[in-house]
């Protein structure tokens, strides 16, 4: 599926959902800043949850539980050197890379649980199940694919409310990541003629305990809302294989239009920068750029379109469904490295 058809499908879903909505007819101008003053922050609004691709975006009131499930898909291709696209074939040489990645698909099933012991603190837990697949071109013209799958790194911690006044609120993201994902995945590599440890991007975890600090701000007006989040990853120490993945930082800025009590659509800009790998795994030593610790870093700016839907009546009342898809606007990679093509997240959430 191409990004264009995904975006048209999402637009179609919004239109249909809006037609089916219960109170879609709003006659006032939609974006009126006057509508922001007497609006108390309402954490049960459809757009009180950020676009589904944003993690740790909201908190809960004391005693509330929330269960969630997200399906994420990422398609990566082609290769980039800096901000220029390069073909896999052009990077192959007898004295340099003899294998090049051509494309990679990552699927993730993310299971989440939130619980608020107090009004100021929400505990959050997330466990991903990951499926990766990478296609390669060999210098002799043949191709091969490697696959890995399994549980990823378990994330846990708290979201601490530090400010709530009128129509805005802010919380700190105090999360950690435990090294539950494998860093020793292997696969059969035809040009090597044997089963070897697969390169860094095919591994399922970081292998290190990681800090994931962040700060999230959200503001609501009558028919729209916006939010911003800064979220980082700090690797603590070195993993058993002898390396640590690069630290990263992501800035998110989103705006949502509340089209009815059940439906909102959103646009999100996301900017990410991540570092190269420190150290190296001596068992990852193939003539392929994905085995090079110094060819992993980069930066990227993505644009997303999303839909949130909140069931307000019937047997599904209180259930949330959301979808968000994005494409890169800019990427600058230490390469050759596979760049982002498109990605999407579909999610379900229910608070109890
Ligand atoms: Cu929640």
Rounded distance from Cα 182 to ligand 1 centre (Å): 28
Question: Sign of the C-alpha dihedral, residues 97, 99, 104, 106?
Answer: negative
Is the residue at 152 inside a domain?
Answer: yes
Number of domain units in the chain: 1
Rounded distance from Cα 55 to ligand 1 centre (Å): 10
CA of 184: how far to CAs of 99, 201, 239, 340, in Å? 20, 12, 11, 25
Rounded distance from Cα 177 to ligand 1 centre (Å): 18
Is the residue at 29 inside a domain?
Answer: no
Rounded distance from Cα 232 to ligand 1 centre (Å): 20
Rounded distance from Cα 246 to ligand 1 centre (Å): 29
pLDDT tens column, 2-31: 556 666 666 666 666 665 555 444 455 667
pLDDT tens column, 243-253: 999 999 999 99
Cα Rg of the chain, angstroms: 22
Which residues have C-beta within 8 Å of that of residue 73, sequence separation ≥ 6? Answer: 105, 106, 107, 108, 343, 344, 345
pTM: 0.91
Is the residue at 30 inside a domain?
Answer: no
Rounded distance from Cα 282 to ligand 1 centre (Å): 41
Rounded distance from Cα 7 to ligand 1 centre (Å): 26
Check residue 80 and give its pLDDT.
97
Other Cβ atoms closer than 10 A to 327 = 17
β-bridge mates for residue 140, sequence order: none
Is the residue at 153 inside a domain?
Answer: yes
Rounded distance from Cα 114 to ligand 1 centre (Å): 6
3-state DSSP of 171-230 = EEEEEEEECCCCCCCEEEECCCCEEEECCHHHCCCCCCEEEEEEEEEEEECCCEEEEEEE
Rounded distance from Cα 153 to ligand 1 centre (Å): 20
pLDDT tens column, 183-211: 999 999 999 999 999 999 999 999 999 99
SS3 148: strand
Span 50-76, average pLDDT: 97
Rounded distance from Cα 58 to ligand 1 centre (Å): 6
Residue 125's nearest CA partner among 59, 176, 172, 161 is: 176
- Name the residue with higher pLDDT: 43 or 348: 348
Rounded distance from Cα 180 to ligand 1 centre (Å): 23
What span, in angstroms and rounded, lies between the C-alpha atoms of 179 and 230?
23
Which CATH number goes with the domain that contains 319? 2.40.128.130
Is the residue at 350 inside a domain?
Answer: no
Which domain range does residue 58 map to?
3-24+35-345
Rounded distance from Cα 68 to ligand 1 centre (Å): 8
Region label for 150, one of left (φ > 0), alpha (ψ between -120 and 50) or beta (otherwise): left
Is the residue at 351 inside a domain?
Answer: no
Rounded distance from Cα 322 to ligand 1 centre (Å): 13
Is the residue at 57 inside a domain?
Answer: yes
């Amino acid at each position: 599926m191409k990004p264009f058809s995904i975006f048209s499908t999402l637009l179609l879903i919004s239109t249909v959902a809006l037609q089916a909505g219960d109170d879609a007819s709003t006659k006032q101008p939609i974006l009126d800043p006057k509508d922001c003053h007497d609006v108390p922050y309402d954490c049960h609004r459809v757009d009180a949850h950020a676009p589904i691709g944003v993690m740790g975006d909201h908190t809960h009131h004391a005693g509330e539980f929330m269960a969630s499930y997200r399906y994420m898909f990422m398609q990566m291709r082609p290769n980039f050197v800096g901000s220029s696209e390069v073909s896999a074939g052009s990077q192959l040489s007898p004295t340099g890379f003899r294998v090049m990645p051509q494309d990679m698909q990552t699927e993730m099933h993310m299971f989440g649980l939130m619980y608020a012991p107090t009004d100021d603190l929400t505990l959050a837990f997330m466990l991903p199940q990951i499926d990766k697949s990478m296609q390669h071109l060999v210098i002799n013209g043949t191709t091969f694919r490697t696959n890995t799958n399994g549980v990823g790194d378990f994330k846990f911690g708290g979201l601490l409310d530090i400010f709530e006044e009128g129509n805005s609120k802010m919380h700190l993201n105090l999360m950690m990541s435990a090294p539950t994902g494998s860093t020793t995945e292997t696969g059969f590599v035809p040009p090597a003629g044997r089963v070897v440890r697969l390169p860094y991007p095919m591994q399922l975890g970081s292998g290190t305990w990681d800090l994931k600090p962040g700060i999230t701000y959200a503001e609501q007006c009558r028919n729209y809302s916006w939010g911003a989040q800064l979220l980082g990853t700090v690797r603590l120490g070195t993993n058993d294989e002898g390396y640590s993945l690069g630290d990263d930082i992501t800035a998110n800025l989103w705006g949502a239009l509340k089209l009815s009590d059940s439906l909102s659509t959103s646009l999100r800009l996301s900017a990410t920068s991540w570092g190269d790998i420190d150290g190296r795994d001596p068992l990852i030593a193939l003539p392929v750029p994905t085995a090079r610790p110094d060819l992993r870093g980069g930066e990227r700016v993505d644009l997303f379109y999303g839909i949130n839907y909140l069931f307000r009546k019937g047997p599904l009342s209180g259930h949330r469904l959301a979808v968000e898809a994005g494409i890169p606007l800019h990427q600058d990679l230490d390469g050759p490295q596979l760049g982002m093509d498109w990605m999407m997240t579909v999610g379900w959430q229910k608070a109890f």
